[in-house]
Amino acid sequence: MKYYFLLLIILFFSVNTAKAQTSCSQYYTMVEGASFQYTNYNKKGKEDGKLTYKVTNVNGSGDNISATMVMDMEDQKGNTYSSEYDVACDGNVVKVDFKSLMNEQMLAQMGDVEMDISGTDVEWPNDLNVGQELPDGNVNVKMKMSGVMNMNMNVETINRKVEKKESVTTPAGTFDCFVIYSETKSKMMMANQTFPSRVWLAEGIGMVKQESYNKRGDLTNSSVLTAFSK
């Protein structure tokens, strides 16, 4: 579970799937009860688990709205994990509160662990345009786990840029998307990794598709929207 949690942190910053569509957002769905299912695939195209999100606790109106994203994960072995995090739409920007991901529910699934978390919230502007550069995001996690050594981890999402517009077809339908490129740098113990990724965002839906690559540009894993409802 500890390894899976660390992997989740990396995915959270490279593949943010917050969604809201209100008067202050075009690409993210803050509609009470909306749900989204993503199927994960490995580099060979074999199914590797599922992610399901549901929007709850929507508050506010106009240009200031907040919501909670309830996230259920199922890996390739059928193990399930749950967590939630907060999303806020403030004016022209949607912000994801990374600290809220480390809630009591997630920590309880990890066992005896303490965390110290700091960093910068991930931001997704409402008005995306081809060639636009997006703000970097980062998180620093200091973990104290009973029975094992303490662990420190730093994850940065850098070089975020809107590359192009592209039509994408998934089991959930066909969508006109903006393609956002980014690079995720993770540092944990003596290990340092940097890998690029792309996210396909559709207006009124959010993330439709995501791909991660190795340094050579080869596909390592992907996620595809397979079902949604509002």
Q: What is the pLDDT of residues 122-150, one digit of tens each?
A: 777 778 899 999 988 888 877 776 666 67
- Could you give the CA distance from residue 172 to residue 224 in angstroms, rounded to a whole number? 9
Residue in this structure with the two tokens 């992610």, named with its chain if needed: 51
Q: What is the radius of gyration, based on Cα positions, of the chain?
A: 17
- Could you give the CA distance from residue 166 to residue 90 in angstroms, rounded to a whole number? 27
* Full-model pTM: 0.79
3-state SS assignment for residue 75: coil
- Could you give the CA distance from residue 122 to residue 13 in angstroms, rounded to a whole number? 7
In order of start, what are the domains of the chain with their CATH numbers? 2-229 (2.40.360.20)
Residue in this structure with the two tokens 């989204």, named with its chain if needed: 36
Confidence class for position 99, pLDDT limits 50, 70, 90: low
3-state secondary structure labels for all residues of 92-114: CEEEEEHHHHCCHHHHHHHCCEE
Q: For position 111, what pLDDT does the model report?
A: 57
Token pair belonging to 137: 């995001």
pLDDT digits (tens, 9 = 90+) for 30-79: 788 889 999 999 999 999 889 898 888 888 877 788 888 888 888 888 88
> Which are the contacts of 186, defined by CB distance < 8 A and separation ≥ 6?
10, 153, 154, 155, 156, 192, 193, 194
How far is CA 178 from each of CA 26, 71, 131, 156, 183, rounded to the nearest angstrom? 12, 24, 11, 22, 17
Residue in this structure with the two tokens 């909670």, named with its chain if needed: 68
- Could you give the CA distance from residue 118 to residue 35 in angstroms, rounded to a whole number? 29
